[in-house]
Structure 1
Amino acid sequence: MSYGRGGYRRRHRDDYDDRRRESYETPEQKLRTAIIKLGEVDAVEELPRLQKQIQEHVPLNVANISEAFRIAVTEQPYKIPYYAALIRLLHEPSEAAQDSHGPSIGRLVLEDFWKGFQAYLDKLAWRETRLCIQLFAHLTVAHIVSPDSMLSLLQSFTAVLDEFGVSHGRAKRAALCAAEGLMISGPSLKPHSGTGVTDVINAIQAFNDTATTSKWLVRPMIRVYSEAVTIENGDELLDTVLYALKTLNDSDFSQTTDSFPQPYTNLPELDISTISHFDLPSVLVPPEVIELEGLSTETEEEAQVKKEEWPEYYLRLFDNEISPDPNTPAGYAVRTALLDTIAIFEVNRKECARLLLEYPKWNLPGAFKPKPGAPSDVEPAPGKDWQLESTLIETILGALLILPESSHKSIYYMSLITELCKLSPSTVGPAVGKSIRKLYSFLSEGLDVEGARRFAEWFAVHMSNFGFQWVWKEWVPDLALAVQHPRRTFIRRAVELEIRLSYHDRILKTLPEPMQSPDALTISEQAPGPDFEYDDPTNPHHDAAQSVLNLLRGRAKAEDVISHLDTLKTTLETSEEGHLNVDAIVRSIAVQSLLHIGSRSFSHLLNAIERYLPLLRNIASDGATGAGLNLEARAGILTAAASFWKNNRQMVGIVFDKLMQYQIVDPSDVVGWTFVNGSGIGQPRELVGPLSLNAFEWDLMRGALDKANGRVMIAKRKVAALRKEEDDTRAQAKARANEDTMEVDADTKQEEAPVDNPAMTTAIKALNSLTREQKAALSRTLEGFVSCLAASATDLNPNPHSRMVITEQAWHDRANWGNDEWNAWETWGWYRQFCRAYSPYLRTYATTLYTVSFARFEGSTDPAAELLKKIWNVAIGQDTS
Structure 2
Amino acid sequence: MSYVARGYGGDRRRHGNYDRREDRRPVETEGQRIQKSIFKLGEAAEFLPSSELPVLAKTLRLSLSDNIQSISEGFRTGVTEEPYKIPYFSALFTLLLQPEPDEDVDNTIQELVQSVFNELCKSFQTSLDKLAWRDLRLTIHFFAHLALSKTVSASSMLDLLQSFLIVLDEPGVSYERSQAAALCVGEGLIRAGPILYQYNPTAAATIISTINSSFESAKSQRSLTRPVVRLHDMDVSGVDVFIGALLSTLQTLDESSFASLPPCLPQPHSLFPESNISLDIPAFIVPPEEIELGRSADEGTRRKELMPAARIRLFDDEISPNPSSPSGFIIRSTLADTINIFEVNRKECARIVLELPRWFTWGTFKEKGRAGPEAAVEESAAIMGWALENTILEVTLAEFALLPSPPQTLVYYFALITDLCKLSPQTVGPAVGKSFRKLYSLLGEGLDVEIARRFAEWFASHMSNFGFNWVWKEWIPDLALPAFHPKRCFIRRVIELETRLAYHDRIVKTLPEAFLASEAKCIHETPPGPDFDYDDPQHHFHEPAQSLLNLIRGRSQIDEVIQLAETLRSTIGDTVTLAPETSPDSVVRSITMQILLHVGSRSFSHFLNAIERYLPLLRSLGSTPDDKIDFLNAAGKFWQRNGQMVAIVFDKLMQYQIVDPSDIIAWCFHSSDRREASSEGLIGLQEWDLIKAALDKAIGRVSIAQQRVNSLRKEEEDAKAKVKAGKAELSVDTMDVDSTEANRARDLESNHKTISEALASALKAYSILTREQKTALARVLEGFVTALSVNATPSISLVIAADGWDHRVDWTQVQWECWETWGWYRHFCRYYAAQLKSYAVTLESGPLAKVLTAGDRAHSGMLVSEIWTVALGRGVNM
TM-score, normalization: structure 2?
A: 0.92
Partner residue of 2:343? 346
Matched, 1:704 2:698: no
Q: 1:809–1:739: structure 2 CA closer, same or farther, 3 Å change rule? A: same
Q: Give the whole-Å Cα distance in 1 for the aligned partners of 2:264 and 2:863.
A: 43
Residue 253 (structure 1) aligned to one of 258, 270, 274: 258
Match of 2:685 in 1: 695
**CA drift at 1:101:** 4.9
* Partner residue, 1:583: 585
Name which of 114, 124, 129 aligns with 1:122: 129
Cα-to-partner distance string for 1:848-875 (whole Å, 9 max, x where unaligned) = 1111112234543351111111111111
Residue identity (%): 48
Letter in 1 for 2:764: K
Residue 118 (structure 1) shift: 0.7
How far apart are residue 728 of structure 1 and its match? 1.6
Distance 2:818 2:487 in 1: 15
Preserved contact between residue 368 and residue 380 of structure 1 (Cα < 8 Å): no
In 2, the alpha carbon distance for the partners of 1:301 and 1:267 equals 56
- Contact 1:93–1:104 at 8 Å: present in 2 too? no
**Residue 246 (structure 2) aligns with:** 241
Q: Is the 8 A contact 2:669 2:680 kept in 1?
A: no
Aligned to 1:874: 870
- Give how far 1:801 is off: 3.3
What is the CA–CA distance in structure 1 between the aligned matches of 2:789 and 2:261, rounded to whole Å? 52
> How far does residue 542 in structure 1 lie from its aligned partner after superposition?
0.9
Deviations 1:430-467 (A, max 9, x none): 00000000000111221011111111111111111111
Partner of 1:33: 36
**Alignment-derived partner of residue 782 in structure 2:** 783
Compared CA separation, residues 588 and 101, structure 1 to 2 (3 A): closer
Indicate the residue corresponding to 2:653 in structure 1: 659
Aligned residue number for residue 834 of structure 1 = 828
Match of 1:717 among 671, 684, 707: 707
SS at match of 1:279: coil
- 1:633 aligns with one of 606, 614, 627: 627
Is the Cα–Cα contact under 8 Å of residues 569 and 585 in structure 2 kept in the other structure?
yes
Give deviations 1:154-195, integer Å, cap 9, x for gaps: 111111000000000000000000000000000000011111
**Cα distance, 1:376 vs. partner?**
7.4
Amino acid at match of 2:773: Q
Q: Matched residues in 1 for 2:475 and 2:236: separation?
A: 27
**Partners in 1 of 2:588 and 2:115 — Cα distance?**
81
Q: Choose from 298, 303, 306 the match for 1:305.
A: 303
> Contact 2:79 / 2:86 at 8 angstroms: preserved in 1?
yes
Deviation track 1:627-657 (CA, whole Å, cap 9, x = no partner) reads xx21111000000000000011110000000
> What does residue 22 of structure 1 align with?
25
> Which residue number in structure 2 is paired with residue 559 of structure 1?
559
Q: Deviation digits for residues 33-78 of structure 1, max 9, x if unmatched?
A: 1111111111614211211111122753211110111111111111
Q: Displacement of 1:733 after TM fit?
A: 3.3
1:636-680 CA-to-partner distances (Å, cap 9, x unmatched) read 000000000001111000000000011000000000000011x44
1:369 and 2:366 equivalent?
yes
- Length-normalised TM-score, structure 1: 0.91
> Cα deviation per residue 1:553-600 (whole Å; 9 max; x = unaligned)?
100122211110111122213324266521111111110000000001
In structure 2, the partner of 1:141 is: 148
Distance apart, 1:704 and its partner CA: 0.2
How far has the Cα of 1:800 moved from its partner?
3.0
Separation of aligned partners in 2, 1:801 and 1:460: 34
- Retained in 2: the 8 A contact 1:790–1:864? yes
What amino acid does structure 1 have at the position aligned with 2:73? E
Q: Once the 2 structures are TM-superposed, how far is the Cα of residue 799 of structure 1 from its aligned partner? A: 3.0
Matched to 1:253, the amino acid is: F
Q: How does 1:858-873 map to 2 (within 5 A)?
A: 859-862=853-856, 863-873=859-869
> What is the deviation of 1:520?
1.0
1: distance between equivalents of 2:157 and 2:598? 70
2:737 corresponds in structure 1 to none
Are residues 113 and 607 of structure 1, via their aligned partners in 2, closer, same or farther at CA, if it must alter by over 3 Å?
Answer: same
Deviations 1:761-810 (A, max 9, x none): 2111111110010000000000000000012xxx6xx5333455512221
Check 1:416–1:267 CA distance in 2 against 1; reply closer, same or farther (3 A cut): same
Instruction: Find the aligned partners of 2:722 and 2:103 in 1 and give their Cα distance.
Output: 56
Determine the structure 2 residue equivalent to 1:291: 292
Task: Name the counterpart of 1:63.
Answer: 69
Question: Post-superposition shift, 1:14?
Answer: 8.0
C-alpha distance in structure 2 between counterparts of 1:708 and 1:601, whole Å = 27
Distance 2:248 2:130 in 1: 30
Residue 390 (structure 1) aligns with = 390
Q: Which residue of 1 aligns with 2:416?
A: 416
Question: Structure 2: any 5+ residue segments left out of the alignment?
Answer: 1-10, 735-747
Q: Does residue 385 of structure 2 align to residue 357 of structure 1?
A: no
Cα deviation code 1:93-129 (max 9, x no counterpart): 4789965356254322111111100110111000000
Q: CA deviation at 1:735?
A: 3.6
- Indicate how the Cα distance of structure 1 residues 777 and 92 shifts in structure 2: closer, same or farther if over 3 A, else same: same
- Residues in 2 aligned to 1:864 and 1:779: alpha-carbon distance in whole angstroms: 19
Query: Bigger CA drift: 125-134 or 606-615?
Result: 606-615
Indicate yes or no: 2:402 matched with 1:402: yes
Q: CA deviation at 1:689?
A: 4.7
Q: Please tell me whether the aligned partners of residues 540 and 576 of structure 2 are also in contact (alpha carbons under 8 angstroms).
A: no
- Residues 1:215 and 2:213 are matched in the alignment: no
Distance 2:414 2:109 in 1: 53
| Residue type at the aligned position of 1:293 | G
2:149–2:274: 8 Å Cα contact kept in structure 1?
Answer: no
Contact between 2:354 and 2:388, CA under 8 Å: does it hold in 1?
A: yes
Contact in 2 for aligned 1:140/1:146 (Cα 8 Å): yes
Whether the 8 Å CA contact 2:661–2:776 is kept in 1: the answer is yes
Q: Residues 688 and 69 of structure 1: is their aligned pair in 2 closer, same or farther, counting only changes over 3 Å?
A: farther
Alpha-carbon spacing, 1:294–1:859, altered in 2? closer, same or farther (3 Å): closer
Q: Secondary structure at the match of 2:793?
A: coil
Q: Which residue of 2 aligns with 1:280?
A: 281
Of residues 154, 163, 166, the one that matches 1:156 is 163
**Structure 1 Cα separation of the partners of residues 732 and 19 of structure 2:** 63
Counterpart code for 1:864? S
The Cα shift of 1:301 comes to 6.7
Please list every run of 5 or more consecutive structure 1 residues that lacks an aligned counterpart in the other structure: 1-7, 621-628, 745-750
In structure 2, the CA distance between the partners of 1:576 and 1:698, relative to structure 1 (3 Å rule), is closer
- 1:772 maps to 771
Q: Which residue of 1 aligns with 2:3?
A: none
Corresponding residue for 1:763?
762
Give the Cα separation in 1 of the matches to 2:372 and 2:123. Answer: 41
Residues 414-445 of structure 1: per-residue CA shift (max 9 Å, x gap): 11101101111111000000000000011122
Q: State the SS of the aligned residue for 2:220.
A: helix
Q: Does 1:111 align with 2:105?
A: no
**Structural RMSD (CA):** 2.6
Asked if the contact 1:346/1:352 (under 8 Å) is kept, the reply is yes
Asked if the contact 1:208–1:239 (Cα under 8 Å) also holds between the matched residues in 2, the reply is no
Asked if the contact 2:366–2:385 (Cα under 8 Å) also holds between the matched residues in 1, the reply is yes
Partner AA of 2:58 in structure 1:
K
Equivalent in the alignment of 1:477: 477
* 1:609 paired residue among 608, 611, 614: 611
1:268 aligns with 2:267: no
Aligned to 1:511: 511
- Separation in 2 of the partners of 1:36 and 1:688? 62
In 2, Cα distance between equivalents of 1:195 and 1:269: 25
> Could you tell me which residue of structure 1 aligns to residue 7 of structure 2?
none
CA contact (8 A) 1:341 1:356 kept: yes
Q: Say if 1:222 and 1:229, in contact at 8 Å, map to a contact too.
A: no
2:723·2:749 contact (CA, 8 Å) conserved in 1?
Answer: no
Q: Which residue of 2 aligns with 1:623?
A: none
User: Counterparts of 2:483 and 2:749 in 1: how far apart (Å)?
Assistant: 72
Which amino acid in structure 1 is aligned with residue 658 of structure 2? I
Q: Distance in 2 between matches of 1:354 and 1:680?
A: 50
1:314 matches 2:314: no
Aligned length: 841
AA aligned opposite 1:786: V
Q: Which residue of 2 aligns with 1:203?
A: 210
- Residues 1:688 and 1:522: Cα distance change in structure 2 (over 3 Å): farther
Does structure 1 conserve the Cα–Cα contact (< 8 Å) formed by 2:678 and 2:814? Answer: no
What's the counterpart of residue 812 of structure 2?
Answer: 818
